[in-house]
Amino acid sequence: MTVSRSLPHDAAPLHVTGQARYVDDIPVPAGCLHLAFGLSTIARGRILSMDLDPVRAAPGVVAVLTAGDLPFANDVSPSVHDEPLLADGRVNYVGQPVFLVVAESHLAARRAARLGRIDYDEEEPILTVEQALAANSRFEDGPVVWEKGDAEAAIAAALRVIEGRVEIGGQEHFYLEGQAALALPQEGGDMMIHSSTQHPTEVQHKVAEALGVPMNAVRVETRRMGGGFGGKESQGNALAVACAVAACVTGQPCKMRYDRDDDMIITGKRHDFRIDYRAGVDAEGRILGVAFTHYARCGWAQDLSLPVADRAMLHADNAYCLPAVRIESHRLRTNTQSATAFRGFGGPQGMVGIERVMDHVAHELGMDPVELRRRNYYAEAAKGGAAPRPAASPRGISDQKEAGGGNTTPYGMEVEDFELGAMTEALLERCDYVARRAAVRAWNARGGAIRKGIAFSPVKFGISFTLTHLNQAGALVHVYQDGSVHLNHGGTEMGQGLFQKVAQVAASRFGIGLEAVKITATDTGKVPNTSATAASSGSDLNGMAVKAACDTIRDRIAAHLAQRFQADAAEVRFEGGRVHVGAESVSFAEAARMAYEGRVSLSATGFYRTPKLAWDRLRGRGRPFYYFAYGCAVTEVAVDARSGEYRILRADILHDAGASLNPAIDIGQVEGGYVQGAGWLTTEELVWDNRGRLMTHAPSTYKIPACSDRPDVFNVALWDGRNREETIYRSKAVGEPPFMLGISAWLALSDAVASFGDVYPALDAPATPERVWAAIRRVRNGV
């Protein structure tokens, strides 16, 4: 079997020799034109006039397009048609594309784009949470509220009430490959697009709208991305549409890539949040009731903000069974980049809220924070586990104000697979938590400027798209008469190793070696109507779809051979590159040839939709997730009080990938996710000035973790488990969940800062050295 093996990334030999092609590496036909956007320089206002003559006159410029020149739809929004490709009368943030330059070279286009002269009637921008609230600038009519039990009553009756506020910064994706697209006009007005996108179907859809053609006139291909992380779920639409329109107008191939600064200035980022919390606890640290208010800064257009903010609410419990909860979520419209999907999709922000509550409560009660967390955990699933219950019917969902209790989430989903109790115990033991915590305390008791901190945090992350209809996938598999296999599915490859995992599934179904399986680019012409490769769902959905397609072909081959060798089709086995039929055995290639000659179809599609989902978004009730993925981490840090600088000394992680399809790839996801999550909450700071200009728009000012920031000791292990649900080979999704393990790094900093005094540090995120330094001062001064 090729599943469950630690095989390297399928394209690794191409990567190490520099031959792996990303969009910008694809050789372009002669006469290819290059595009750049002219950008808004103000955050909010009306365009009074535009003088683009200097742009047109610039060397190498072929054409300049504005909103009025677009032949059909002027929209690149993935949701509600509120995001023009080119500003139409108004601008809504600094960096909004206003006009499009088509030129002979990338450099010529970018230089010319700076020459536009635009007059604005400038208005006061809405930039902060406070400004948005004051102006009632929001998406949807008012806040969304979901409740379980009566949180206010529970808090009022509690022995202690602990309240506070945490600000959580956004995050730039910093995919190392910037956004890019290439449009190649075809005969008859058709358009071929190469796009660095997680969502080829969406690109196809938007390009078709922009060209006024049906979707069947547009083909989108994505071989690989140089990182995506959610930033290429909708943000690539603009480039692909721009290329398509320009190619249509000029009749020539057109390519566009954002230079890094443009990329950071134009595209959306992770939503920053402010979370206010009030928690009522008993003397043992059990949470009796908690109320959260989420304020999400969504930027100027809706994009995916509603499901992002929903997912934050859906993770407001994290691993804890909260008897009474109230979550109020404000989705605020601001004159900044339209915040978008980013690994975790709101889940991390929601989780930071409750982890902050746990940290704060433990500090106030003087309890060990791990013990406090364990007391509030969901009940552990029985070992080995009873079979999960059948799908809840939507009608069975009880009333919104249903009494709390049971092992249910704030949205009424029964937690059937909880295993963090055992995982926590295993991790604490492996990393020698108790002794190390004592050592940290002893070190800090000696005083001095260098202090240490250690912290644990768990992750329970819901797997499935919360927009239920997205939980579907298709695949297309061909077996050629020489026994080689051509594999295609709707998932895209952004480094997560999806193609390899899915190819392992195909090879296993046919009992052949991986070398016989050709992995091919995602292509809307092969598999239609796909969902974005997002929500960690890539291998869950596409693995199952590919399995279905392979099994169809396998059954056909088996039936044919059974007939030919007078055997029972059910006893035909595909193993070790051979097909065994009773006492006979032929090579897989031979079997394929025989089936072909027997006029048996060797091509099949496969389809999968996730079972058991039933979600009522308006009421916030039901089963939005097929299952949960779990993980936990312990991080130790050292902080220098003189500068606020810090280092991560050690990180220990235990993560549940179910029965992993490929442990090497999964461990890579865990390591990368942790480091990215820790980066989000520590060094990665986005700063806008008071005119709405993003000041941190390059790696020189925006600090993602570097090699030198890697924890000195970094132990990552996979939990030895199987998914209780019938996922592909009982594996679990692993793309997003490990990201939130990084919360432990932020909590460890809080722990170190707390050693300087008695008051709670109330550290905001990102905990930059500056913030840590300020927090130390506050704690020292007891305020």
CA gyration radius for the chain?
27
Segment near other proteins (CB under 8 A); pick from 16-24, 151-159, 240-248, 519-527:
16-24
As a whole number of angstroms, the distance between CA 39 and CA 148 comes to 46
Name beta bridge partners: 290.
279, 325
* 602 Cβ contact list (under 8 Å, min separation 6): 478, 479, 480, 481, 553, 556, 557, 592, 595, 596
* Number of chain positions touching ligand FES (CB under 6 A): 3
Of residues 64-83, which lie at the interface with ligand FES (CB under 6 A)? none
**CB closer to ligand FES out of 23 and 100:** 23
- Determine if 676 is a binding residue for other proteins (CB under 8 A): yes
Residues 536-575 vs other proteins: string with x where CB under 8 A?
A: ----------------------------------------
Q: Which of other proteins, ligand FES, none does 13 bind, CB closer than 5 to 8 A by kind?
A: other proteins
Q: Which stretch binds other proteins (CB under 8 A): 206-214, 334-342, 369-377, 490-498?
A: 490-498
Identify the residue among 169, 344, 705, 761 touching other proteins (CB under 8 A): 705
Tell me the C-alpha distance between 124 and 122, whole Å.
7
DSSP 131: H
Comparing CB distances to other proteins, the nearer of 219 and 223 is 223
From residue 141 to residue 180, the character string flagging contacts with other proteins as x (rule: CB under 8 A) and all else as - is: --------------------------------xxxxxx--
Dihedral of alpha carbons 103, 108, 110, 115, sign:
negative
Question: At a CB cut-off of 8 Å and minimum separation 6, what does 235 contact?
Answer: 179, 267, 268, 340
How far apart are the C-alpha atoms of 18 and 101, rounded to whole Å?
31
Instruction: State the Cα–Cα distance between residues 762 and 7, nearest whole angstrom.
Output: 44
Residue 227 or 350 having the CB closest to ligand FES: 227
What residues numbered 260-279 form the site for other proteins, per CB under 8 A? 260
- The type of residue at 617 is R
DSSP state of 55: H
What is the C-alpha to C-alpha distance for residues 306 and 304, in angstroms, rounded to an integer?
Answer: 6
Q: Where are the beta strands (DSSP E) in 186-311?
A: 191-195, 218-222, 254-257, 272-281, 287-297
Residue 292 partner contact from ligand FES, other proteins, none using kind-dependent CB cut-offs of 5 to 8 Å: none
Q: Please select the residue that binds other proteins; options are 97, 149, 226, 538, rule is CB under 8 A.
A: 226
Show contacts with ligand FES in window 149-188 (CB under 6 A): 176
- Side by side, which strands form the sheet with 144-148? 144-148, 325-332, 287-297, 272-281, 160-168
Asked if 498 is part of the footprint of other proteins (rule: CB under 8 A), the reply reads no
Give which of other proteins, ligand FES, none residue 644 binds (C-beta under 5 to 8 Å, depending on kind): none
3-state helix, strand, coil in the chain (%, to 5): 35, 25, 40
- Contact pick of 1, 12, 135, 391 for other proteins (by CB under 8 A): 12
Q: Which of 4, 5, 15, 598 binds other proteins (CB under 8 A)?
A: 15
Which of 125, 227, 347, 462 is close enough to bind ligand FES by CB under 6 A? Answer: 227
For other proteins, the binding residues in 17-46 under the rule CB under 8 A are 17-22, 24-25, 27
Name which of 48 and 176 has its Cβ closer to ligand FES: 176
Among 253, 495, 721, 735, binds ligand FES (CB under 6 A): 495
The backbone torsions φ and ψ at residue 219, rounded to the nearest 5 degrees and listed phi first, read -120, 130
* Residue 277 phi, psi (nearest 5): -140, 150
The rounded distance, in Å, linking the Cα atoms of 20 and 519 is 13
Closest residue (Cβ) to ligand FES? 176
Q: Site for other proteins (CB under 8 A): which residue of 63, 133, 704, 759?
A: 704
Residues 6+ apart with CB under 8 A from 83: 75, 76, 77, 301, 302, 303, 338
To the query of whether residue 736 is one of the catalytic residues in this protein, the response is: yes
Residue 453 pairs with which residues in a beta bridge? 637
Question: Judged by CB, which is closer to other proteins: 25, or 571?
Answer: 25
Task: Reduce the DSSP state of residue 418 to 3 states and report it.
Answer: coil
Question: 479 pairs with which residues across the strands?
Answer: 485
CB atoms within 10 A of CB 511: 18
Catalytic residue chosen out of the listed positions 202, 221, 416, 736: 736
Interface with other proteins, residue 714, by CB under 8 A? yes
Angstrom distances, CA of residue 446 to CA of 48, 263, 268, 440, 454: 65, 48, 46, 10, 16
Of the pair 109, 225, the CB lying nearest ligand FES is at 225
By the 8 A CB rule, do 308 and 345 touch?
yes
> Which position among 353, 658, 673, 737 is part of the footprint of other proteins (CB under 8 A)?
673
Give kind and range of the element (H or E) at residue 593: helix 588-597
**Residue 379 interface partner, choices other proteins, ligand FES, none, CB cut-off 5-8 Å depending on type:** none
Q: Are 549 and 603 in contact (CB under 8 A)?
A: no
Closer CB to ligand FES, residue 150 or residue 263?
263
Q: Is 259 in the site for other proteins (CB under 8 A)?
A: yes
Which entry of other proteins, ligand FES, none binds 301, CB below 5 to 8 A by partner kind?
Answer: none
Least separation, in Å, of the C-beta of 344 and ligand FES? 18
Per CB under 8 A, contacts with other proteins among 594-633 are none
Binding partner of residue 21 among ligand FES, other proteins, none, CB under 5 to 8 Å per kind? other proteins
Nearer of residues 227 and 644 to other proteins, judged by Cβ: 227
Q: With respect to ligand FES, which residue has the nearer C-beta, 317 or 671?
A: 671
Helix (H) or strand (E) run with residue 692 in it: none
Closest to ligand FES by CB, 227 or 453: 227
Stretch that binds other proteins, among 126-134, 139-147, 357-365, 488-496 (CB under 8 A): 488-496
Query: Residue numbers of the site for other proteins (CB under 8 A)?
Result: 6, 8-9, 11-22, 24-25, 27, 107, 173-178, 224-229, 259-260, 494-497, 664-665, 667-669, 671-676, 698-700, 704-708, 710, 714, 716
Query: Residue numbers of the site for ligand FES (CB under 6 A)?
Result: 176, 227, 495
**Known catalytic residues?**
736
